[in-house]
């Protein structure tokens, strides 16, 4: 029998073939651009499938075979339209509308005054990204969708379009669009006439409004962060779907529905509140891409009521900027409540303090300078708090030698060390927590402005220095690769803000907070915070980073002035020594704390 031997050449051959396959797999991986194009194509195909599914509702209601729909083809008594149906136009200074005769719905909504980051016109509705439909059933239980019915233009003026889906001269479904001059609001009336004998009275008609939100800004991720469904209900409450991923909710007594994007909104407002609405939303683009077209997919579904088996409903559409100045003009609707000002005191500060102040400053100053001036005003108003904070730090600095001495003397007895340290603070009249209180007082200002700048429509496409758009990130260098959590660009304002935060923290915590057992390492925090700032704000609005840079810079200057010209550390030291010599009456709480610590110490010795 022939002996089998190890064939080295075969092994080498297999290794080479495997290596070549791995190499071919690597070089043939799709690029980011190809992946984005593939994703866009999948979205187009998905929309095509949805259209086919919508058509199937009509052709599958009977057991007959599916037929090709021709314009004017009958579905019972109703006529169907094709996608090639003609359109009618309506416009004013603010809006340009196109209404399709297929479904009588809006085919195009153009905002005349604005452009995207690419300089292209801003469309809220375009290329069938929106669908408005009323679904009902006839007497033979066939499903009828107004979105697929053929509508005829029966009257047209400069301010109004009337379209009807006719069964006869006295039987029709009518849509009326009215547009006033210099207004973002569109009046929309829906009614039926003489169709009661054809409609099944046991099923209420269902209204469905869906939209794929079009991208308008440079950063997909950043714009997505502020794009969501918002609705107002029960007169004064606001509901919001999740900003990321998929979400669904049910709202009752709904006053209006807003498909709110970062800086533009599409709002449906019924004359009478919707009893109940089912909302869904889905993220379509979850990563940065030059080719991304859509951000999120929104859908709302509710029921309409009959009146003698006829329906008659009045609506309004708002298509315009998510600008508090514009939205607040419709006082009775509170549309501005969709803007993310923040909750509680944060929202109050933004709505009634920062928004009016910045609007006033930017009315006569360049927008970047207005941010700097507002920052100076805020820091000057907060300077007493800064003074209290620095005074506390100065006192702690003076006591540090004695605290270090206590730490060394009782390094093996944590309880005794704590007792002696607290006794020193009490004798010196120093409260170690007093430095934290001013910082807490500044938190509402910090968070309110964190919400204000990204939502301020007035900053949109306003330039300052190297930043082309204060509502988006600035770019001073485009990287040939992408850094995780950072991006593929370098923004200078976040870099400057990070440097300013580093020096501010070095002044406030780097020297005055000794590392103790059980406490976090302050040096680590000193370096971690600016790095986190750099990564977190690299894709945020440059106006926000400009504020933080200027704010920390001013704070550093104020603290240097306080240190050099206001606070005398020698006087503080002598005053502390005088306080230590004075008899200090302890409160009942202090006495109780002392007793508890002594009891704990005795129990420890007993063990």
Eight-state DSSP code of residue 486:
T
* Highest averaged pLDDT of the listed ranges 20-24, 169-173, 360-364, 575-579: 360-364
Sorting pLDDT into bands at 50, 70 and 90, what band is 349? confident
- Nearest Cα residue to 508 out of 587, 436, 599: 436
Percentage of the chain beyond pLDDT 70 is 69
The predicted model gives 540-560 an average pLDDT of: 85
In the chain, domain spans: 54-340, 349-581
Sign of CA dihedral 563, 569, 571, 572: positive
> Residue 164, Cα to own-chain centre: how many angstroms?
40
Higher pLDDT, 421 or 520: 421
- pLDDT score for 62: 33
> 54-340 maps to which CATH number?
2.70.98.90
Give me the residues paired with residue 109 across strands: 97, 125
Sorting pLDDT into bands at 50, 70 and 90, what band is 453? confident
Up-side HSE of residue 139: CA atoms within 13 Å toward CB?
7
- In terms of DSSP H, where are the helices of 335-432? 344-349, 355-362, 367-381, 383-409, 414-428
Q: Which pTM value belongs to this model?
A: 0.73
Size of the chain, expressed as the number of residues it contains: 607
Give me the residues paired with residue 399 across strands: none
Work out the mean pLDDT of the chain and round it to a whole number. 76
**305 sits in which H/E element:** none
Separation between Cα atoms, residue 405 and residue 393, nearest integer Å: 19
Separation between Cα atoms, residue 182 and residue 187, nearest integer Å: 14
- HEC profile for 438-450? HHHHHHHHHHHHH
Cβ pair 206, 302 in contact under 8 A: yes
- pLDDT score for 20: 55
Separation between Cα atoms, residue 426 and residue 579, nearest integer Å: 9
Q: Say which residues have a Cβ less than 8 Å from residue 223's Cβ, sequence separation at least 6.
A: 215, 216, 217, 261, 262, 295
- pLDDT score for 426: 65
Kindly compute the dihedral angle of the four CA atoms of residues 411, 416, 418, 422, in this order, to the nearest 10 degrees: -130
Q: What is the pLDDT of residues 285-324, one digit of tens each?
A: 877 777 888 899 999 999 887 766 677 888 999 999 999 8
Q: What are phi and psi of 71, to 5 degrees?
A: -60, 130
pLDDT of residue 341 exceeding 90, the answer is no
Among the residue ranges 185-199, 365-379, 504-518, the one predicted with the least confidence is 504-518
- pLDDT score for 359: 87
Q: What is the pLDDT of residues 105-159, one digit of tens each?
A: 999 999 999 988 888 899 999 988 999 998 888 777 888 888 888 888 988 888 8
In the structure encoding, which two tokens stand for residue 102, read together? 């297929």
CB atoms within 10 A of CB 73: 15
Q: Say which residues have a Cβ less than 8 Å from residue 35's Cβ, sequence separation at least 6.
A: none
- pLDDT score for 162: 92
- pLDDT score for 64: 33
Separation between Cα atoms, residue 536 and residue 385, nearest integer Å: 27
Beta-strand ranges (E) seen in 92-225 are 95-100, 106-115, 121-125, 130-137, 143-145, 152-156, 160-168, 171-179, 185-193, 206-214
Among the residue ranges 48-52, 91-95, 420-424, 433-437, the one predicted with the least confidence is 48-52
- pLDDT score for 71: 47
Up-side HSE of residue 368: CA atoms within 13 Å toward CB?
18
């Amino acid at each position: 029998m022939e002996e089998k031997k190890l064939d080295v050449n075969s092994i080498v051959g297999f290794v080479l073939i495997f290596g070549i396959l791995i190499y071919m797999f690597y070089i043939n991986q799709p690029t980011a651009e190809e992946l984005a194009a593939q994703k866009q194509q999948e979205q187009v195909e998905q929309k095509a499938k949805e259209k086919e599914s919508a058509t199937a509702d009509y052709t599958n209601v009977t057991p007959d075979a599916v037929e090709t729909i021709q314009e004017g083809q009958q579905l019972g008594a109703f006529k169907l339209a094709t996608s090639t149906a003609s359109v009618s136009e309506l416009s004013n200074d603010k809006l340009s509308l196109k209404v399709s005769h297929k479904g009588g719905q809006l085919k195009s909504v153009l905002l005349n005054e604005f452009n995207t980051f690419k300089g292209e016109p801003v469309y809220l509705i375009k290329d069938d990204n929106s669908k408005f439909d009323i679904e009902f059933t006839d007497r033979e239980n066939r499903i009828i969708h107004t979105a697929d019915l053929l509508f005829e233009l029966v009257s047209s003026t400069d301010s109004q379009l009337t379209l009807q889906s006719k069964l006869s001269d006295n039987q029709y479904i009518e849509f009326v669009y009215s547009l006033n001059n210099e207004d973002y609001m569109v009046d929309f009336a829906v009614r039926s006439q003489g169709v009661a004998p054809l409609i099944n009275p046991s099923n209420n008609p269902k209204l469905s409004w869906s939209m794929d939100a079009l991208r308008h800004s440079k950063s997909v991720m950043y714009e997505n962060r502020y794009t969501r469904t918002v609705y107002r209900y029960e007169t004064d409450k606001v509901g919001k779907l999740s900003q990321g991923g998929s979400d669904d909710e049910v709202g009752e007594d709904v006053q209006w529905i807003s498909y709110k994007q970062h800086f533009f909104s599409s709002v449906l407002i019924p004359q009478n509140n919707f009893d109940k609405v089912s909302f869904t939303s889905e993220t379509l683009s979850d990563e940065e891409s030059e080719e991304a077209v859509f951000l999120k997919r929104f859908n709302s579904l509710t029921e309409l009521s009959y009146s003698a088996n006829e329906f008659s409903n009045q609506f309004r559409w708002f298509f315009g900027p998510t600008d508090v100045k514009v939205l607040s003009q419709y006082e009775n609707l509170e549309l501005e409540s969709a803007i993310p000002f923040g909750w509680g005191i944060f929202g109050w500060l933004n709505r009634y303090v920062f928004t009016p102040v910045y609007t006033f400053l930017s009315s006569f100053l360049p927008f970047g300078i207005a941010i700097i001036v507002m920052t100076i005003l805020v820091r000057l108003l907060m300077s007493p708090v800064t003074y209290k904070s620095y005074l506390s730090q100065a006192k702690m600095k003076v006591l540090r030698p004695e605290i270090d001495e206590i730490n060394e003397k009782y390094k093996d007895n944590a309880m005794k060390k704590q007792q002696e340290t607290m006794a020193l603070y009490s004798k010196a009249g120093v409260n170690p927590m007093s430095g934290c209180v001013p910082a807490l007082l500044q938190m509402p200002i910090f968070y309110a402005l964190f919400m204000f700048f990204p939502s301020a429509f007035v900053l949109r496409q306003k330039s300052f220095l190297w930043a082309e758009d204060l509502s988006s990130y600035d770019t001073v260098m485009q990287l040939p690769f992408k850094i995780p959590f950072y991006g593929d660009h370098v923004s200078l304002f976040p870099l400057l803000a990070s440097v300013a935060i580093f020096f501010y923290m070095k002044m406030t915590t780097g020297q005055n907070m000794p590392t103790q057992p059980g406490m976090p390492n302050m040096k680590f925090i000193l370096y971690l915070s600016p790095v986190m700032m750099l990564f977190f704000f690299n894709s945020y609005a440059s106006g926000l980073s400009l504020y933080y840079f200027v704010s920390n810079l001013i704070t550093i200057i104020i603290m240097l002035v306080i240190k050099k010209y206001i606070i005398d550390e020698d006087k503080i030291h002598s005053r502390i020594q005088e306080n230590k010599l004075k008899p200090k009456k302890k409160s009942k709480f202090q006495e109780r704390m002392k007793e508890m610590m002594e009891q704990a110490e005795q129990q420890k010795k007993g063990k």
